[in-house]
């Protein structure tokens, strides 16, 4: 009798596991769904319309943008995007994600990779590579963002190079102007001390 109970318990466990596995689509289907999200993200950024990203958010979502701004809701992400466009009128921003194979575990996916980012402003064109990670949860309503993080090298990128060139130019012009002013002042001072012959 004891052995029969163990066999029934074991059979119930296997049947339960089988039903859970049947409810979870195969990995290739999940990877295809995640690739579709990648395309949705790239298109939303390129078009300037982030609305297609709204369904990814729920109460547990959070993230950090490449410029270190945190968000928890779609509205907060939209506000960051709107401020960026207000600070740089006419900005062109494009992104191309290069995703590594996602790590899947139950209803969770850890997607990660790099992104080639392009920004064109009145000040110039900037390209840089960022690294990103996104943790997503698959629900009956689709994939939901749990957490995302985007980073880039803070020292070696086109934005820092631009600012360095601008700083060098400013210092050179300031030093040149100071040298000319000092030369003129010194010339005037020496001219007044020299007696007329």
pLDDT digits (tens, 9 = 90+) for 135-150: 999 999 999 999 999 9
For 26-178, give the CATH class. alpha beta
Q: Quote the pTM value.
A: 0.69
Q: Kindly indicate the confidence band of residue 17, based on its pLDDT and cuts at 50, 70 and 90.
A: very low
Helix (H, G, I), strand (E, B) or coil at 88: coil
Query: Residue ranges of the domains in the chain?
Result: 26-178
What residue ranges in 51-141 does DSSP mark as E strands? 63-64, 70-71, 92-99, 103-105, 108-121, 124-139
pLDDT digits (tens, 9 = 90+) for 152-191: 766 665 555 455 555 555 666 677 677 777 787 887 777 7
Q: Kindly indicate the confidence band of residue 111, based on its pLDDT and cuts at 50, 70 and 90.
A: very high
Separation of alpha carbons 51 and 57, rounded Å = 11
């Amino acid at each position: 009798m004891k052995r029969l109970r163990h066999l029934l318990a074991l059979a119930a466990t296997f049947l339960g596991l089988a039903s859970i596995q049947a409810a979870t689509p195969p990995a290739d289907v999940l990877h295809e769904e995640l690739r579709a999200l990648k395309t949705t993200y790239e298109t939303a950024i390129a078009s300037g319309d982030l609305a297609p990203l709204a369904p990814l958010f729920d109460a547990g979502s959070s993230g950090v943008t490449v410029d270190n701004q945190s968000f928890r809701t779609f509205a907060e992400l939209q506000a960051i995007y709107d401020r960026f466009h207000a600070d740089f009128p006419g900005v062109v921003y494009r992104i191309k994600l290069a995703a590594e194979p996602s790590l899947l575990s139950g209803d969770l996916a850890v997607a990660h990779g790099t992104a080639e980012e392009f920004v064109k402003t009145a000040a110039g064109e900037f390209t840089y590579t960022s690294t990103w990670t996104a943790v997503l949860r698959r629900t009956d309503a689709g994939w939901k963002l749990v957490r995302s993080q985007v980073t880039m090298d803070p020292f070696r990128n086109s934005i820092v190079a631009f600012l360095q060139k601008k700083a060098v130019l400013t210092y050179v012009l300031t030093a040149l102007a100071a040298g000319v002013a000092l030369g003129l002042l010194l010339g005037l001072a020496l001219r007044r001390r020299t007696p007329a012959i």
